[in-house]
Every structure is written in structure tokens, then in C-alpha cells.
Amino acid sequence: MRLGRKEIAHLYNRAAFGLDFESFQKLSFSNANQLVKRLFSESFQPNTLNVFGAMPQLEISRKVRSGEFTREEARAEIRKAVDESREKIRDLNVTWIQQMQDSKTAGLEKLVFFWHDHFGVRVLNGYLAQQHNNTLRTHALRSFKELLLAVARDPAMLSFLNNQQNKKSMPNENFARELMELFTIGRGNYTEQDVKEAARAFTGWRIDRRTGKFIFDRRNHDFGQKRFFNQKGDFNGEEIIDIILSDKRTADFLATKFYLYYVEDTPNSTRISELSDYYYTHNYDTGSLLAFLFTREWFYEESVQRSKIKSPISLINSLHVQMGLGFNNPLAWIVLQRNFNQVLFYPPSVAGWPTGREWIDSSSLVKRMQLPAAIAGMSMQIDDLPEIDASDPFKSFDRKRVLRSASFRNQQIDFSASNDKEALDMMIEFLLGGRLEETMYQKTLAQMAATPNHLKVERVMTVLASLPEFQMI
């Protein structure tokens, strides 16, 4: 399938966080399979986050063995390291958003962001937050079973959903319930008895406090017979996952989430069924599913293009990638996230963030439309939002001071157009998919004619990015 500029822009808006103008021009009339391979290369090595080093427990445990620390001193050192890591979660946030804005990694990072929302883990231990994010990144394009099993053993998940307290003598159902309701088969497709039996299967899955790593604690595992999804056996956690994945309804649930994330905010049962069948018969291979999805003719239909509302993260990243807007002080990216209520590493609950039209109301739409001009003019109004809670790691710096110190920068974009109309048409195609109401078009063209040549591109792109149409991808 050959794609024109409009279709290429659509692919990059959905599969990544947009496309810079130079690439937009160069990739005209490219092969869809080749572009998708470029976005999700099988040989791609994930660029892991590395703000934190190894978990401190390992080195501190060594010092206990050597006699340098008593056990009480060791516990105090671990608490100190974890407390300090809370502040550095901000650095983790900035590092990740900068990787999202890198065209070489954006396809993978958009998928990691999908899994970050799907498994809505929020921990205040920076070491665990980084490790969890890298777990998602490492397994993102592989089989969903492999990813799910890695997440089920991930210390951040074990901590967040209390499986650390899940013991044979007193089962904790939190992880087992969310495993089915949010991560796999969906509400209404399991019973309360299934939750209880699954919880028994995951007893003994916990974190070794000496190393900070996953261990299977046989003493606290329930090896007894269980009845799960009308099957009997002395199931363990991995076997529970196998049973859930063998149920086609799990593929239906996941295919629906992929469709809403990558295609449109309104589900289409025929297309979702096509994706679900493919995912199920290809052993939940996510990389293969995305290659399949992004080469469907219906993915490029006119009705699909510009049909999704940008999440705040997508909006912020598109302003950087497409328009070159940025800050010398990277903490400003966190300020924008806080102001639009979507902060990386801080989902509101295990269910993740709002979606689609839930992001838009009369107040948020006005703020979104004012954002490009506000950044460019460095006159952005920062709301005095209530902090999420007292332990919020993103609350302790002065947001207004950060913006005042974050000098604005943008890249120069060369449209190489012979006249204003040609340049405007190219900008509209690039930023808005070629759509602009005639009255607004003529008004913008007149404004362009009255603008000095060296400011035309920057000012007109700011005007276009301030329109409601720019909120759509």
C-alpha cells in the first residue's frame, strides 16, 4: 500500500507523536509496510530509562554481610535512598518525555505509554517506577503473555496491588481482581469465586526485601486444588494467566483497547473483531498486531483521520515534534503535564487516565487552544491546582518560577513555498490534515500577508495550532 503525505502524517500521529516537517516532505508516497517496519523495527533495542542505578538493597545487603552496616542501619539507608528517589521521579518523567519526542524511538514510546496506562501502576519509589517502565519497554512489542507475566512479577505491581500481603493464611484479592477486570478479560466475564481462586494461585508471589527482586515464597503459597473458569487443578499464577489468555474474550478486550487508542474514540465491532481474531491466532504477538493494524486500508479512511481527541501527553508532544516548541528548562514539561492533569508516572488510579471526550470540557478546551501562543509568548497562565496528595513527587517545585526560567526555543522550518497561499496550504496539510473552514482560511491568509517574511511560518503555525482542529489527530 502506497501512502501520500496526508496518510503518512496520519500514521505518525497515531503510531507515534507526530512527524517533523522535514520528514513529512521526504516520506511522501512511501510504502506502508516499510514505514511501519521503520516505526517498529524487529531489531530495535529498547532505549531503557537509566536515571537510577541498581536497587540500593543489593549494595546495602553486601555491607551488612561485610559488617559495615548493622541490620537497623541497613534499613535506615534503604529508607533514605527510597525517600531521595521520590524527588528524582521528576528526572525520570523528563527523560521519558524526551524519548517520546525523539523520532527514532517515538513508535515504541507511544506503545509503552499505552501499556503504562493499561497497567496503571503508581509508586513513589523511583527505583521501582523506573524498573516497571523498563519492564513495559522490554516486552512491549513481544507476546502479551510474556509482558503480563513480567508485570505480574514486577516489584512495582506487587507493591501497588498488595500481592506482597497475599499469603496462604490470608489471601489478598487486589491483584487477582484487577488482573481480570482491567488487564485481561474485562468486567462481567468472571465470577467472584474466580477472583478468590486466582488470588490463591498468586499467593507467595512477593518481593525479596533484601534484594528488591521478585521471589516465589513456597511457604506462603497455596498448593491446594482450585476451581477457576470451570477448570480444576492445583493452579499457580502462570497457569491462571494461561487459562485467561486461552479465552477469546481476552483478545476481544485487548483489541478494543488497541482500537480506541490507535484508531478512533468510537468502537467499530467489525474492525475490532478483525483485530481480535488476528491477535488471538498469532499468540498475542503485539508487534505483529500493530503491523497488521497499520496496514489496513480502513485505518487510512477519511472518516478515521482526525477523529481522535489528543490526550494531554499527545498534545504536548505534538507541539514539540511538529512545531519545534521547547524549553531550556526541562521541568517545564512537567508543569504542562500538571496543568492538563496527565503526569507520567502518576496515573490517577489502576484504571489509568480518562480517554477521548473525557479530556475535553469548555474550560480545558480554552486552555488547550491558548497553549501554543502562550508557550511562544512565555505568558502562560498556570492554574493553582490542588495537589493530588501530600506525597505527590511533582508538587514540591515552584511551577511559575520554572516557566519564568524556561526560555522558549523553536526550530526554524523551511517550507520553500513560492507564495503565501502555497505555504499556508502546506501548513494546513501538515498540522490539520488539509482541513480548514473557508472563512478562517481567508482570514489566516490575510494575516499572513500582513506578517513580515521572517515571522510568517512561526506566527501562522501558532495560529493553526490554536484552532480546535489541532486538538484532533
Q: What does each C-alpha distance from 424 to 315, 412, 417 come to in angstroms?
A: 21, 16, 9
- CA–CA separation, 338 vs 345, rounded Å? 12
Q: What does each C-alpha distance from 380 to 72, 325, 332, 457 come to in angstroms?
A: 49, 14, 11, 21
- CA–CA separation, 290 vs 431, rounded Å? 24
Task: Kindly state the cell numbers that stand for 197.
Answer: 481462586
- What are residue 205's DSSP bridge partners? 216
> For residue 44, is pLDDT > 60?
no
Helical packing angle, 248-262 and 286-293, nearest 10°: 50
Looking at residue 252, what is its pLDDT? 98
Lowest mean pLDDT among 22-26, 215-219, 344-348, 403-407: 403-407
> For residue 413, is pLDDT > 70?
no
Helical packing angle, 248-262 and 106-118, nearest 10°: 120
Alpha-carbon torsion (397, 402, 405, 411), positive or negative: positive
Are 3 and 462 contacting, i.e. CB atoms less than 8 angstroms apart?
no
DSSP type of residue 170: B
- CA–CA separation, 418 vs 355, rounded Å? 41
Three-state helix/strand/coil letters over 273-304: HHHHHHHHHCCCEHHHHHHHHCCCHHHHCCCC
Lowest mean pLDDT among 116-120, 280-284, 310-314, 411-415: 411-415
Looking at residue 414, what is its pLDDT? 65
Task: Kindly state the cell numbers that stand for 72.
Answer: 537497623
| Tens-digit pLDDT profile for residues 338-366 | 889 999 999 999 999 999 999 998 888 99
| Tens-digit pLDDT profile for residues 126-146 | 999 999 999 999 999 999 999
| More confident: 66 or 197 | 197
DSSP characters for 287-355? HHHHHHHTT-GGGG-TTTTT-SBPPHHHHHHHHHHHH--EESSTHHHHHHHHHTT--TT--SSTT----
Are 216 and 205 contacting, i.e. CB atoms less than 8 angstroms apart?
yes
CA diameter of the chain: 79
Our CA dihedral for 278, 284, 290, 296, rounded to 10 degrees, sits at 0
> For residue 103, is pLDDT > 90?
no
Lowest mean pLDDT among 54-68, 197-211, 458-472: 54-68
- CA–CA separation, 90 vs 106, rounded Å? 20
Confidence band (pLDDT; 50, 70, 90) for 74?
confident
- CA–CA separation, 97 vs 114, rounded Å? 14
3-state secondary structure of 100: helix
> For residue 118, is pLDDT > 50?
yes
Enclosing H/E stretch for 23: helix 21-26
| More confident: 153 or 371 | 153
